[in-house]
Amino acid sequence: MKLFRSLLVSACVALPSVVFAQAKGTDSLHIPANLKFTATTVQGDEVNFKDFLGKGPLLVSFWALWCEPCKQEMKAFKVLTDKFKSEGVHLVAVNTDQVRSVAKVRAFVATQGLDFPVLLDPDGDIARDIFSMESLPYSLILMPDGTVYKKHIGYTAGDEKETEKEIVELIDQLKKKS
């Protein structure tokens, strides 16, 4: 198991950030059925994911405590979403650590002062079954209706500049529609 985790961490560090094809948006707010799920936050509250949608671009960051690039990406995304909060940009993080690590995840969130929603996904149901996560770090920019605008796999310091560019593009597109 330790060898597997070590290889997985190496893969996280080695993978370049990859941007996939842009998804098409819709004119009306139609949240796909698979995004109408509930999850537990790191504080123990039950939330419905669809409640995070409809307000503007949503950045979803999948991470684990053992994945250093994940934690770096999440911190960079926090700065990014704070910068564009007035434009309706929000961040939701989804932690993929196992149940036995929840206390450590909770402590990390508290000590880092993370003030955005952190959802727990110890079984991988959200990451794997709903968002088709391929490996960590994994992040998505969702349109207000839940459509995937951009997808990124991997993180290297500086990749957030491309994400910022994409968020600005999406904000501009949404302004043109309204």
- Pull the structure tokens for residue 44: 């123990």
Q: What's residue 25's pLDDT?
A: 38
For residue 178, give the 3-state DSSP assignment: coil
Q: What is the mean pLDDT of residues 9-13?
A: 40
Q: What is the pTM of this model?
A: 0.81
Q: What's residue 30's pLDDT?
A: 62
**Distance from C-alpha of 153 to C-alpha of 172, rounded to nearest angstrom:** 24
Give me the CATH topology for the region 12-21+33-177: Glutaredoxin (3.40.30)
Q: Token pair 């207000």 is at which residue?
A: 144
Select the more confidently predicted residue: 77 or 9: 77
Q: What's residue 31's pLDDT?
A: 66
**Distance from C-alpha of 177 to C-alpha of 173, rounded to nearest angstrom:** 6
Q: What is the mean pLDDT of residues 85-89?
A: 95
**Distance from C-alpha of 131 to C-alpha of 148, rounded to nearest angstrom:** 9
Phi, psi of 102, rounded to the nearest 5 degrees: -55, -40
Q: What is the mean pLDDT of residues 1-24?
A: 37
pLDDT averaged over every residue in the chain: 84
**Distance from C-alpha of 144 to C-alpha of 132, rounded to nearest angstrom:** 19
**Residue 173 pLDDT more than 70?**
yes
**Distance from C-alpha of 24 to C-alpha of 143, rounded to nearest angstrom:** 9
Q: What is the mean pLDDT of residues 96-108?
A: 94
Q: What is the mean pLDDT of residues 13-41?
A: 56
Condensed to tens digits (0 to 9), the pLDDT of residues 29-41 reads 566 778 889 999 9
- Please report, for the chain, the start and end positions of each structural domain, with discontinuous segments joined by +: 12-21+33-177
pLDDT > 70: what percent of the chain? Answer: 83
Q: How confident is the model at residue 18 (pLDDT cuts 50, 70, 90)?
A: very low
